[in-house]
Amino acid sequence: MAPGRKPKSAGSALPSSTLVLDNGADTIKAGFVTVDDDMSNKAPRVIPNCIARDRHNKTYVGAELEKCKDFGEITFRRPVEKGFIVNWEAQKEIWDRAFFDDKAPQRCDPSTTRLVLAEQPNSLPALQTHCDQIVFEEYGFSSYYRGIGPSFNAYQDIQAIFHTPRTPDTIIDVPAEVILLIDSGYSHTTVTPILQGRPLHTAIRRLDVGGKLLTNHLTRLLSVRHFDMRNETYIVNEMKEAACYVSLDFKGDLDKTWKGTRGERRKDYATGGGIAKDYVLPDSHTRFHGIVRDHEPGAAARAMKSAVSTEDILTLRNERFSVPELLFNPTDIGLRQPGLADLVMQSLSVLPVGLWPGLLANIVVVGGNAKFVNFIQRLQVELLERVPDECVVRVARPEDPIVSTWLGAANFARHEHADRLAVTKQEYEEHGAAWVARKFALGLGVDTLR
Amino acid sequence: MNNFGVIEVASTATKTTPGWAYVPDTGPSLSATALQPKNRKRAARNTQPGLSLSDLTARQENKLRKDLEALNRDNQRDVNIPVPSSSRSSHKHTPTVRKILQSQKTFANHLDDYQALLALAESNPAAVVNNPLLFLNKPVVATSQAKSASPAPVREKGGSKRGQAAAKRAAVKAAAAAAAEEKEEEEEEEGRKRARQLAAEGEDVEMIDSPAAAPDEVEKLVETYPADGTILPAYNERPPAAHPGDDDPLLVSVVPSFPTDEELRSLMTAPPLSYMDSRAAFGEEGERYPIRVFCEMCGYWGRVKCMKCGVRVCGLDCLEGHREECVTRYGL
């Protein structure tokens, strides 16, 4: 008997609750969804996906990091590498503490739960198989779907993100007909064109610049110019999130922050030119998080000189915009890859020209890097230079780009597609891991749209 | 030059130390002279053309690679944080799970394994015919149907120069793709023949793909949707009100023809690319713009090169700062 013809009665005990997991390299976004939930104010719990150890050799697993006060010299072990779950020993420990222990804050019983897991596109088959095996053999989820994160975003109300004018009786089509999704996360940045919720696999492109690389680059710049920050990744990351922005006029901004040739006193440099900011470093006694201040000339020097200096001040000048600039010009650090706008053009170049207008008018940017000020404006400007004049380019980011994939996946879990794609434990035991991987790779197909 | 056959070679292998290798010394070779120049003055300028980017010496190339590696690290130094032992009573794992949990492989290891497997599949297809880890690279059965060989839609005249060039490029690409597809189809046909032979001999039967949807479900859905329903349905609302400027030849915009259902179908059902293939790289036209260089010290444009090591700086102040470091590393 063909597996598809199985009588529906076998699946009568369909799990009512779904655990939706967006297992990112930096944070896990997790939450439960049931069919009759009100999705309007749903939000996932965000759990740091790491095992951390501070300078007193105390270890924090996952959400315990909230209890940590002193982030100086903290080191991390991350189960996810390059966006894919690699180290299951660590990942299992973090999952256990979050979902399966007796005192877990989001406790669930896998045998009555469906798991929807978001992964990055173009994973290695071996890693995918490991994931499937752990889900079924170790945890025993009753039903499971592993799909690529970007395509889950299509299950949201995309036109609301663009503030498209529409009449109240407009039907919201889920999944969205056509979007071009840019996911810029911790490990890398991907471009994924999606039609009717189905990703166009041949056009998915990846740029190996992510939040981690940007933070490490900022660490290096600061270590050359100010203090040795090489062991303070966490603090530098906070600094990056608080102070960095994407420049709309790179050349002009760079000129404003230049100190000038020898003996020259440039006015913009002395006053800060509206770009320089002072960053007060945490001292881990009274202040555990840094503060951004407007630049006050001479403040840093005074703090250095005074014997009883209360605060360490870093003046950030061109570091503020030359770090996110790497997303648009990776060659600046010698990484021979095209920038984000060229990445989009490379992705489009393998698609028929007839699809370009639709994709270009619906570009959504998700992931933590989308939070940089001016990110979407810069992308729009660069794309307009590259596309045919007639094309409309709209770039937008959801309100919270970090949880956007989770929200999409939660909508997906309630959609009829989830039932079509998910694999039950029984099927896994009957057909094996290779069959499951094949089924997931095959996706929705186009024979039955909607 | 007698260097006892020991030559330092710049390799692209990922090692943290420069590699050494014994190679036969057959006269002065380009790479050797680049690394051990007779004239040590102005070493930064006297690079071999074509060694790599013209601006880079092998030494800088090495430094760049190490820098990029360092930028991809989670922690500055190597740390080993053991998973804290939990008090929970550990139930028994299945053998596969135990193997996965105990594996200490990194992503780089997995990637190397995968590349080795691909190389093996290329050189000796019989060895990996049943390896489930290669399923992604075999064309999925669903894609073999509905291959389109229609040329890429070429824009009408009136488009910009760049647009025409792009269209031309697209047309060339489409032609190449069509040729490749034909080849692929032939290969597939051969594969099917082989499979049939094997099946007839009773040796091996190909695995059947999981169906995209149950056949009875398909029939049901086809009934509820119009028979001429396309993958991306046409806009069925009323068009906007007519405007007097609609017929103005200056305002007419060129709308590219929409891809056919068959084209869309083959795009939407294509199998995923491999990890290496999806990485964006510069195409045949290469980097269109020259690489921007910055001052190593302050981050402004790198307008001057250090004569000793080739590092870029912006002016005298930064050059002096750099000299201190340069002298400690390379001597006067």
Q: Which residue has the higher pLDDT, A4 or B268?
A: B268
What is the SS3 assignment for A237?
A: helix
C-alpha torsion sign, points B100, B106, B107, B113: negative
A156 and A21, same structural domain?
yes
Calculate what percentage of chain B has a pLDDT beyond 70: 46
Of the given ranges (A259-268, A325-334, A422-431), which has the lowest mean pLDDT? Answer: A259-268
How far apart (Å, rounded) are the C-alpha atoms in residues A351 and B43? Answer: 47
Spatial neighbors of A403 by CB under 8 A, at least 6 apart, are A22, A29, A43, A44, A46
Residue of A430, A446, A450 for testing the chain B interface, max B β-carbons within 10 Å: A446
Range of the domain at A71: 14-168+402-442
Share of chain B above pLDDT 90, in %: 9
What is residue A164's predicted lDDT score, i.e. its pLDDT?
Answer: 86
**The predicted structure's pLDDT at residue A407:** 94
Q: Which residues pair with B312 in a beta bridge?
A: B305
Owning domain of residue B43: 1-72
SS3 for A199? strand
Whether residue A133 sits in one domain with residue A22: yes
Distance between CA atoms of residues B138 and B132, nearest Å: 11
How many beta-carbon pairs under 8 angstroms link A with B? 297
**B273 pLDDT above the threshold of 60:** yes
Residues A158 and A254 in one domain: no
Query: Using one digit for the tens of pLDDT, what is the confidence trace for B278-307?
Result: 999 887 666 677 889 999 889 999 998 888
- Asked if B106 and A81 come within 8 Å (Cβ–Cβ), the reply is yes
Q: Is B148 in the same domain as B134?
A: no
Nearest CA-CA distance, residue B37 and chain A, Å? 25
Q: What is the DSSP letter of B178?
A: H
**Chain A contact probe: residue of B80, B100, B157, B173 with most A CBs at under 10 A:** B100
> pTM of the predicted model, to two decimals?
0.79
Write out the H or E segment, with its range, that includes residue A114.
strand A113-119
Q: How many Cβ atoms sit within 10 Å of the Cβ of residue A76?
A: 19
Looking at the structure, do residues A287 and A417 belong to the same domain, yes or no? no
Res B121: pLDDT = 87
CB contact at 8 A, B117 and B138: no
* Contact (Cβ atoms closer than 8 angstroms) between residue A80 and residue A86: yes
Q: What is the CATH number of the domain that holds A99?
A: 3.30.420.40
Q: Which residues in chain B touch residue A335, judged by CB atoms under 8 angstroms apart?
A: 68
DSSP assignment letter at A373: B
Per-residue pLDDT band for A263 (boundaries 50, 70, 90) equals confident
Residues B219-256: pLDDT tens digits? 433 333 333 446 777 767 777 788 888 888 888 777 77
Query: Can you tell me the distance from the alpha carbon of A196 to that of A191, in angstroms, rounded to the nearest whole number?
Result: 16
Contact at 8 Å (CB) between A410 and A153?
no
Residues A19 and A158 in one domain: yes
In terms of average pLDDT, the best of A56-60, B193-197, B202-206, B221-225 is A56-60
Mark whether A312 and A414 lie in a shared domain.
no
pLDDT(B85) > 80: no
Going by pLDDT thresholds of 50, 70 and 90, the confidence category of residue A12 is very low
Could you check whether the bond before residue B239 is cis, i.e. omega within 30 degrees of 0?
no
Tell me: pLDDT of B20 over 90. no
Task: Give the pLDDT confidence score for residue B149 in this predicted structure.
Answer: 36
Residue A300 has a pLDDT of 67
CA B143 centroid distance within chain = 23
User: At B90, is the pLDDT very low, low, confident or very high (cuts 50, 70, 90)?
Assistant: low
The answer on pLDDT for B57 being more than 90 is no
Q: In the listed set B26, B56, B72, which residue is the last one of a domain according to the structure?
A: B72
- pLDDT for A73: 87
pLDDT at B164 over 90: no
**DSSP string covering B215-249:** HHHHHHHHHHS-TT--SSPPP-SPPPPP-GGGG-T
How many Cβ atoms from other residues are within 10 Å of residue A218's Cβ? 25
Residues A225, B298: Cα–Cα separation, whole Å: 7
pLDDT band at A101 (very low <50, low <70, confident <90, very high): confident
Smallest CA–CA separation between B256 and chain A, in Å? 5
In a domain, B175, yes or no: yes
Q: Are B201 and B182 found together in one domain?
A: yes
Per CB-CB distance under 8 Å, the chain A contacts of B258 are 354
Q: What is the mean pLDDT of residues A380-386?
A: 94
Q: What is the pLDDT of residue A345?
A: 94
Q: Are residues A58 and A127 in the same domain?
A: yes
Residues A157 and A215 in one domain: no
Number of domains into which chain A is organized: 2
Q: Name the least confident of A87-101, A248-262, B46-60.
A: B46-60
Q: Which of A256, A289, A324 is the last residue in one of the domains?
A: A324
pLDDT classification of B264: cutoffs 50, 70, 90: confident
Q: Is residue A274 part of a domain?
A: yes
- Closest residue to B142, CB basis, from A89, A445, A449: A445
Cα–Cα distance, A378 to A373 (Å, whole number): 10
pLDDT of residue A368: 94
Residue A330: the pLDDT is: 93
- What CA–CA distance (Å, rounded) separates A187 from A211? 6
Local confidence band at B193 (pLDDT 50, 70, 90 cut-offs)? low
Are B120 and B171 members of one domain? no
From CA B269, how far away is CA A447, in angstroms rounded? 10
Q: Specify whether A88 is located in the same domain as A216.
A: no
Contact B132 A355 (CB under 8 A): no
Give the pLDDT confidence score for residue B84 in this predicted structure. 83
- DSSP assignment letter at B202: T
Mean per-residue pLDDT of chain A:
89
Mean pLDDT of B38-55: 50
Q: Where a domain ends, among B20, B45, B72?
A: B72
Among A290, A324, A358, give the residue marking a domain's end: A324
Span A253-280, mean pLDDT? 87
Q: What band does A312 get if pLDDT is binned at 50, 70 and 90? A: confident
The pLDDT of residue B46 is above 60: no
User: What pLDDT is attached to residue A90?
Assistant: 93
The answer to whether A133 contacts B97, with C-beta atoms less than 8 Å apart, is yes
Contact B79 A343 (CB under 8 A): no
Q: Mark yes or no for CB contact B96/A431 under 8 Å.
A: no
Of B211, B257, B299, Cβ closest to residue A318 = B299
Is the per-residue pLDDT at A120 higher than 70?
A: yes
Q: How confident is the model at residue B181 (pLDDT cuts 50, 70, 90)?
A: low
* A315/A252 same-domain check: yes
As given in the structure block, the two tokens for residue A374 are 């001016």
Residue B327 has a pLDDT of 83
Q: What is the pLDDT of residue B31?
A: 55
Q: Is there a contact between B279 and A96 if contact means CB atoms under 8 Å apart? A: no
Least confident piece of the model among A139-148, A315-324, B184-193, B236-245: B184-193
- Considering only residues A401 and A305, tell me which one the structure prediction assigns the higher pLDDT: A401
* pLDDT confidence bin for B199, thresholds 50/70/90: very low
Checking if the pLDDT of A371 tops 50, the result is: yes
Return the CATH number at A301. 3.90.640.10
Higher pLDDT, A45 or B15: A45
Rg of chain A over CA atoms, in angstroms? Answer: 24
Last residue of a domain, one of A291, A324, A357: A324
Q: How far is A42 from chain B (nearest CA, A)?
A: 31
Q: What is the pLDDT of residues B101-122, one digit of tens each?
A: 988 899 999 999 999 999 888 8
Q: Are residues B18 and B64 in the same domain?
A: yes
Same domain, B9 and B49: yes
At residue B11, does pLDDT exceed 60?
no
Mean pLDDT of A88-107: 90
Domain count, chain B: 4
Q: Closest to B275 (Cβ–Cβ): which among A122, A319, A346? A: A122
Lowest-pLDDT range of A93-97, A349-353, B215-219: B215-219
Indicate whether A164 and A19 sit together in one domain: yes
| Whether residues A29 and A161 fall in one domain | yes
| CB contact at 8 A, A158 and A397 | no
Measure CB to CB from residue B300 to each of A177, A254, A434 and give the nearest one. A254
pLDDT of residue A262: 83
Identify whether the C-beta of residue A20 lies closer than 8 Å to the C-beta of residue A30: yes
Q: Are residues B62 and B3 in the same domain?
A: yes
Is there a single domain that holds both residue B64 and residue B14?
yes
Asked, for residue B253, whether it belongs to a domain, the answer is no
Give the nearest partner residue to A129 out of B105, B133, B280, using CB atoms: B133
Q: Is the pLDDT of residue A20 over 90?
A: yes
